[in-house]
Chain A
Amino acid sequence: MTLELVCPAGTLPALRAAVDNGADAVYLGFRGATNARNFPGLNFSESEAAAGVAYAHERGSRVFVALNVYPSPTTWEAATNTIDRAARLGVDALILADPGLMRFAADRYPNLRLHLSVQSSATNWRAIEFYRQEFGVQRAVLPRVLSATQVARLIKRTSVEIEVFGFGSLCVMAEGRCALSSFATGHSPNTQGVCSPAHAVRWEETPAGRQARLNDILIDRYAPGEAAAYPTLCKGRFRVNDRVLHALEEPTSLNALDVLPALAVSGVKAIKVEGRQRSPAYVAQVTRLLRRALDLCNDAAAKWVPPVELIGELDALAEGRTHTLGAYERSWH
């Protein structure tokens, strides 16, 4: 059992950074509203994607194309065009969330590998089995809701390869089952591929402190000198029963290094790094550090303990400069 490293490529320079630093595979999206992480200045044109595929393939890395929004009747054609483009480019897999698109892809390109996006929200083997039976899905990316023990149990019940998140921003909710962002702003991961979008963010300096608003809703307020975080709405401070707290989650990152041996032993196929919105420099650093971690872990397996300096270097890159095991650890639930 060898864990693969799957890294984000929001741009061609980020793709090169990931490949150069040891990613076994990169995932990217085409420009337009057909994938999560639909931020301005990100994603690939067809020619950029072709250059990226060539660059990765020459160096032994694979390229996955993510099309992980749920198209509406008005964006359906754009979505199927994206599948056609990806197939033409000879990518190694399509990462899809929408069952209708999976039907389209499975019918038209039966030889193109299908991966179940985390946005499909398949959190148990039966749901995964549905997608395997119907569309021949070969890999599933698990939502960040299962404990490491639950991941191991799930793998025993499925023949589909399992990919899990190893590092990056932490989604607190089951992906694909969260409408918080559209409730506050009208734009959501499922529909537009964004969460807490930048266009809805407003910062203001007030006597009470610096305030971050999302479509006018106050997400957090910072005392002078307090570090301010991007107002992702599930990571703000709110009042609940007369207490002000991070009611849903704190601004922190996921780092699964501590459970990497357990994940490897349980048969996880690949570790995914979140962050297509990140800079090439960030992608290079994270990929290099995780490559080292996976190589060490692949050699030592169950006996491996992540080196302190590796955790420190990753923490320095993390949101809030701290990390959590998130749902992998039962006490997080």
Chain B
Amino acid sequence: MALSARPMKLAVGPLLYLWDRQTALDFYADMCDAPVDIVYLGEVVCSKRRVLQKDDWGLVACALEAAGKEVVWSTLALIEAESELATMARIVDGSAGHFEANDMAAVQHGAGSPFVAGPHLNVYNEATLRLLVEQGARRWVAPVELPLATIATLGETRPKGLEIEVFAYGRLPLAFSARCFTARSQDRPKDDCGFICREYPDGITLYSRDDQPFLTLNGIQTQSAAVQNLCARVGELRAAGVDILRLSPQSQDFAAVIRAFRDAVDATGAATPFPASVLPGGYCDGYLRGAAGIERAP
């Protein structure tokens, strides 16, 4: 007997860049009206950044929840300092089980309460996934380099009730370092960065010396230059048991991106033409088939 297709959800990932306050507030005001189901808030990349103050974040969360969105608080991926542990603990404690763990420190601190296992936890097999579910994971965001075949295998054997989310749109978060590459590119020390990353709302594109857009510098994070775009692959993702598609915020055309994914997920039959990428590097989707992430299926 054919199972009726479960409705797939759309999630807006955490904002990975340093936008100015008003731009961020406007963005989240738009998300209240956007056809998305889940919005991740908070800082994942750099503990020095303050996109919004605590009160602003609270108001944004209230507005999103009033608009019917599920709000999840994301936490830092690379936690080094005691102050960063304290910030993570405060977010986890205040989230009422709606937090995304991106480091085992958050799993340890939040032990027992429900959480989202974020894309920066290394989950590559059933045993590790089961272990996180025992710790309270109710949703798992797959690491970006995991092939869809592996996600499907883990999907088949997943513990009951676990949702699976995949990074479906955006410049891929690939690496974290102690070093701030944005500051380095401007000969500034990290401790005196002047928040120079504020000038790059989609990061700084790094080109090879023969002009291929290759990577993106975003503070201590390195991303792909190409945008991973899995909109044309929604059918395969659904068949693999994926429940949620994560769309990573970008500064332009995000409404059109959401619209195209909504149409694809709802399978309205209208083949919505996807907008051309506004960022250098075009689209990529190689990871899905276990190839180099930079590649794109013909």
Contact = CB atoms under 8 A, between A and B. Distances in A.
15 contacts: A71-B124, A100-B125, A103-B127, A130-B105, A146-B80, A150-B81, A177-B175, A180-B222, A183-B293, A238-B207, A239-B206, A239-B208, A239-B209, A244-B209, A331-B189
A121 B79 CA distance: 10
A87 interface: no
A73 interface: yes
Given A237-B209, A332-B179, A186 B124 contact: no
Interface residues of B, number: 66
B77 interface: yes
Interface stretch (B29-37, B64-72, B210-218, B246-254): B210-218
B297 to A, nearest CB: 14
A126 B209 CA distance: 42
Contact of B217 (A71, A133, A186, A247): A247
A215 interface: yes
A244 B127 CA distance: 45
A145 B190 CA distance: 13
Interface string A123-155: 111110111011000000000111100100100
A179 interface: yes
A230 to B, nearest CB: 17
A219 interface: yes
A333 B177 CA distance: 8
Contact of B127 (A100, A131, A188): A100
A72 interface: yes
Does more than half of chain A's interface fall in helix, strand or loop, or is it mixed?
mixed
A262 to B, nearest CB: 17
Interface string A311-333: 00000000000000001001111
A266 to B, nearest CB: 15
A123 B80 contact: yes
B181 A248 contact: yes
Contacts of B214: 184, 217, 238
Given A100-B131, A332-B178, A333-B179, A218 B209 contact: yes
Contacts of B108: 126-127, 129-130, 133
Given A124-B79, A130-B107, A218-B208, A190 B178 contact: no
For chain A, give the interface size range.
35 or more
A19 B207 CA distance: 45
A191 interface: yes
Contact of B144 (A73, A179, A217, A219): A179
A136 to B, nearest CB: 14
Contact of A145 (B153, B174, B177): B177
B91 interface: no
Interface in B228-287: 286-287
A73 B204 contact: no
A174 interface: yes
Contacts of B81: 150
A129 B189 CA distance: 32
B103 interface: yes
Give the most central of B122, B153, B178, B180: most A CB within 10 Å.
B178
Contacts of B179: 172, 248-249, 327, 332-333
A272 interface: no
Given A179-B172, A183-B224, A237-B209, A73 B153 contact: yes
